[in-house]
Structure 1
């Protein structure tokens, strides 16, 4: 395996002729409902670079949506997954188990918040993990209702679409959705009517009041929240909000579920984002960054809650696939060895300083937020807080054309989000920020 040179290179238009050829083939056989942010076809990737079929090298500020935190071809991931691939690809853990699955569960018990006895179950995707967390919470509490929050995103299966806040593109035309799902306000500081300093207390009081009045706390199986809301716009709930909701859950026998699928595994400069306010969730769902790009997800939690489901009630043919488990062990090894939490905090320091300088020059930057290498800017119309999705799209396009891959998000489509691999070099990170600054000047 030759390492990808860690330098940006633009040799054709983006997308180039070979990518365009492949796009034509794709259009003929791939369902139109599967979109792509940027139709450049990847041939190899690693560190902070994605190389395409035309020989262009793009600076990666997306990490395959927070997946390749350790890089897209991390040595330990490749080494361990390759070794496992040669031994056996599958036996199905529910038929004949294997050590790798157990090792991943041991690592999850060690790394997730809290020192109580913990158990895990492994699955393939984030949505599957969230769906199983709901099953486990219902089995444990013998209740049905599930509470989620404005701007939340939890997946694309039928139940997780019901849990997800945003209609387009995730839910539109795909109903009916699963019942017994209730949505309450979240402390979105930048948009809270009485200001960010009041958002934590006011939003938690509103949410709790709605749960008590409209559902009844005794009917709630689970409260599910992303400690940093990803797709909704990298919203960090205002301080005090998460502890108040977690406390309410505990007082009422409700399972508190932290959805750490996007924010977990060093992304925010801590192993898990909920550690920031000392939250110890009952259950935690993980995926994305867990296995260096191989499909794996998990539900980890208090042993007595995890054991509530009857034997055979949890699982799936590929859940905890041995090659994916090997990848996860390589990914965790890399995170520990390179201290990727420290790397994430350094990325935050560099990015926030540069983005603040951009904000001082351009009044369309309404808010800069996030933690670690999960940073975003919310774009607004000059002199207001009105969302500016047009500028957001134009900026993303300008970045793409010069070889910087950035992603957008937000309920209003007006947030640029930055998820660089945690192993990106500082020179590449700064070059990417130079390109971003140029894009702002152009837009």
Structure 2
């Protein structure tokens, strides 16, 4: 569902009010609060996007938003009082999960047996995703790439690197893959080394947002950049880590039904942890379907994973168990999620970055509704891209937040 377009004057007004309020009441030059709690009277996209752009990039302050009604009394909910209190308690719990992750905390961890495979070698899990402009975005709006990676051996903290890139709507010969992957991965490896005091021995990349026809592009365009990062003189690997690349996909029509009552949950779905790796999978490739979560409504959709590059020689049992166990480590939930967390985090980071470009992405820029000829159109699209770069570089992610999960 697309969100309503935000008039730029409303975004600018919200930004100015927020900046004035925060700088007037907080001495940000001397000491910053751990976070700023913002109580919103309603679900305002204009205020939310203005707040995140201002605090993530300009002020360098962690922010947490809550709806005033849900934070106080849930008075608008036509429910029994006991049900209201239970819902409010759950709401507070979900908010605290996000806050703890933002501040570098650990919400939960895997037990020793489930974590053992990840600790056999120093392992860095990487999530990669790219978000593209929508049909209502300005002609020439950029794509945004996100790369996240863990900084600890408990797989709890996944800071992100973000980058703008040209897409084929701007230049026909633009590459569809992540264009600055080498530099973004070097950033992640440096932080891993800083926190773990060593470089990883193996790197496992979860690549989201790739169709079946683009597997070869990942191998031709992205894997070489990853290997170049390992060769970087900035990192000085004694021995290069082994690399595996796994593509994650949910845009498929495969569904699996239990064959007897003992194999299904109360609503008829197969149980969490169900793996299908025979019969309907690829004949030649190393792929499988995994349903790691519990389906609440309808027929649950498993995630399709395919190993397209593997120097680690991971067995089927190892990769399936690793993905399923890791699916319980998503910071914003207390149960397993449908997509492996590094890929999930990369998707969320991309969505956060869209807020920073404001009208260029949400359809309120004057160029969004213009249709131009082919010759002048490319020039105009390149001009819009340069406008996006100037807006992006004016305030990159603030140094105080770069090593945190500010986007969660």
Question: Is the pair's TM-score, using the shorter chain for normalization, greater than 0.5?
Answer: no
TM-score of the superposition, structure 1-length normalised?
Answer: 0.32
